[in-house]
Structure 1
Amino acid sequence: MVNGVTVPTKVIAAEVQNHAAPKNQPGLAWRKAANAVAMRTLLLQEAKQRGIRPEPAEVGPGRFETEEEALIRSLLEVAVEVSPPTEDEVRAEWARGPERFRAPPLWEVSHILCACDPRNDDERNAAFTRAKSLAARVEGDPQGFARLASAHSDCGSKTSGGALGQLGPGDTVPEFEAALREIKEGEFTSEPVLTRHGWHVIRMDAIAEGAVLPFDTVRSKIADAMEKAAWARNAREFADRLVASARISGAEIGNRSQGERL
């Protein structure tokens, strides 16, 4: 119940699919869903109390917000105010660690691809076995990487010993890029990396770190990030105030049971 209004069980049941939980704790997903529904109900009650009318915005080609989504968005636009950071605040944030703001890195990479359709269990498992075996051979003979790539890779780069040349952020699929960000120069992945193309054994041949960018180049990016962080903080504080003044039972929002407190 939220401020005397009973939330139907079917509403919580529909929300459960949006919340992950360990298989041995099925009740956890239900509790998460109940908390989310309670918070959404509070926001909708506040929007209606303020007389806000839903005006669904287009969120994609031919796709619009639901009335509830429009109400909550409109409420937050009215209730959560944020002032842009001052020039001194932005410069102070930059000065805290200028090395955080760099041009994109460049990675010089080689790989061995064991191609498969990841959606096919048999193909995926067979390709993984191949890739795992090749990774072990690379570990035992790092200097033989190019020879193994030439003989066993399913990528056209096999003609150059698996060399892909220089790659930057966005030049490859996300799973491959995520692996590149974890490998140091001269290292290779001891565990194969799965992408839509199959399993990869990856070697990092060289890394060129991006140069530290001057303040004027990153000023707008820092200001935007600071404003978004302030908005999120103020939105949480607004939600906390709603919870503190609400009568809630059957859900826990925050660190303690609202049913017990109210």
Structure 2
Amino acid sequence: MVVIRQSPRAAAARSAAARHAPHAASHMHMADPVPVSVDGRDIPEEEIRAEMHNHPGPDPDTARNAAAQALVIRELLLNAARARDITARPDTDGQGRQELDDEAMIRALLDAEVTTPRADTAACRRHYDSHPGRFTTSPVWEARHILLAATETDAAGRKAARERAQAILAELASDPDRFADLATAFSACPSRAEGGRLGQLVRGSTVPEFEAALGRISPGEIAPAPVETRFGVHVVALDRHLPGAVLPFEAVEARIAAWLEAASWSRGVAQFISVLAAEADIRGVALATAEGPLVR
């Protein structure tokens, strides 16, 4: 892994090699490795095997390839730093961890070679207008339910739960105010102590089937049919719905600017690495560049 630093740019630089190599790892048998070198310097196999721990994934050959790519990129960056006589004092991050000398050199190299424009208000506004869904608050639902527990594999239990749910819905059709009493009597959810009240729910805070059911009814309504999830069969009531709202541009401009600048910088790093790779003699591993994979 490369570069430890507390700033966002340096934090990204820390994993420059790892991020531009695929991730995969395992402890299974690995094919006989091909020696890897950069400009005549061999990368020891033990270094590659140690780096594999940073690339979790499905199989050891893919893991080794990812680790080798990461170390090749690291070697390219160090060679470029040495060629430019770059020196740097190791930084310490917010947790007291200090960079190694090589990590500091890579950080200083990237700071010197990769420049990106600041995201101005116009660029931020274009991104904001093009992606309104990214800046919309989640809708909020206040709901109640009665859970009749039954696993998906328990056919008899599911059948009994559906029948009980239908009977509860029939009672509620004539007297909706009995919801709390019926929840207390029949629900398998701890919310039965609160009459089935679930409090405020936001998008993603419950299972998709339950959330979809909330979207099909209006406040004050009870879902006309039981709702089935992996937990069982539910009788669902919606008390209140607050639709999501688009956040004002001024509230998110700084966040957009930071994201645009970080994305631009990451692309710049990838392009810089591609240039270094195209000029280097890399053997034993395919290294993808902007123009395609390089291998000898």
Q: Is the 8 A contact 2:210 2:229 kept in 1?
A: no
Alpha carbons of structure 1 residues 136 and 161: separation in structure 2 relative to 1, 3 Å = farther
Match of 1:70 in 2: 104
Please give the alpha-carbon distance, in whole angstroms, between the structure 1 residues aligned to 2:183 and 2:103: 56
2:256 equivalent among 211, 216, 222 = 222
Please give the alpha-carbon distance, in whole angstroms, between the structure 2 residues aligned to 1:27 and 1:149: 58
Shift of 1:15: 0.9
Post-superposition Cα deviations, 1:176-220, rounded to whole Å, max 9, x if no partner, equal 74857994343878346xxxxxxxx9x895763421123233222
Alpha carbons of structure 1 residues 181 and 34: separation in structure 2 relative to 1, 3 Å = farther
Please give the alpha-carbon distance, in whole angstroms, between the structure 2 residues aligned to 1:250 and 1:240: 17
Post-superposition Cα deviations, 1:130-152, rounded to whole Å, max 9, x if no partner, equal 79769957973667697499653
Matched residues, number? 229
Q: Return 5+ residue gaps in structure 1 as ranges.
A: 114-128, 170-175, 193-200
Q: How does 1:91-130 map to 2 (within 5 A)?
A: 91-108=125-142
Match of 2:272 in 1: 238
Runs (4+) of structure 1 exceeding 6 A deviation are 110-113, 129-132, 143-146
Match of 1:28 in 2: 62
Please give the alpha-carbon distance, in whole angstroms, between the structure 2 residues aligned to 1:131 and 1:101: 37
Shift of 1:237: 0.8
Percent identity, aligned pairs only, is: 31
Post-superposition Cα deviations, 1:156-190, rounded to whole Å, max 9, x if no partner, equal x3412553301458xxxxxx748579943438783
Q: Is the 8 A contact 2:146 2:187 kept in 1?
A: no
Match of 2:38 in 1: 2
Please give the alpha-carbon distance, in whole angstroms, between the structure 1 residues aligned to 2:72 and 2:55: 14
Q: Is the 8 A contact 2:144 2:237 kept in 1?
A: yes
Amino acid at match of 1:190: T
Match of 1:53 in 2: 87
Do structure 1's residue 190 and structure 2's residue 229 form an aligned pair?
yes
Shift of 1:232: 1.2
Q: Is the 8 A contact 1:111 1:164 kept in 2?
A: yes
Amino acid at match of 1:221: R
> Is 101-110 or 41-50 further displaced after alignment?
101-110
| SS of residue in 1 equivalent to 2:56 | coil
Q: Is the 8 A contact 2:140 2:242 kept in 1?
A: yes
Larger radius of gyration: 2
Amino acid at match of 1:258: L
Please give the alpha-carbon distance, in whole angstroms, between the structure 1 residues aligned to 2:91 and 2:185: 51
Match of 2:32 in 1: none
TM-score by length of 2: 0.61
Please give the alpha-carbon distance, in whole angstroms, between the structure 1 residues aligned to 2:146 and 2:152: 8
Amino acid at match of 2:271: E
Superposed CA RMSD in Å reads: 4.0
Match of 1:118 in 2: none
| SS of residue in 2 equivalent to 1:63 | coil
1:37 equivalent among 51, 71, 74 = 71
Please give the alpha-carbon distance, in whole angstroms, between the structure 1 residues aligned to 2:106 and 2:160: 54
Match of 2:117 in 1: 83
Higher relative contact order (CA 8 A, sep 6+): 1
| SS of residue in 1 equivalent to 2:122 | helix
Q: Return 5+ residue gaps in structure 2 as ranges.
A: 1-36, 170-181, 216-226
Alpha carbons of structure 1 residues 89 and 191: separation in structure 2 relative to 1, 3 Å = same
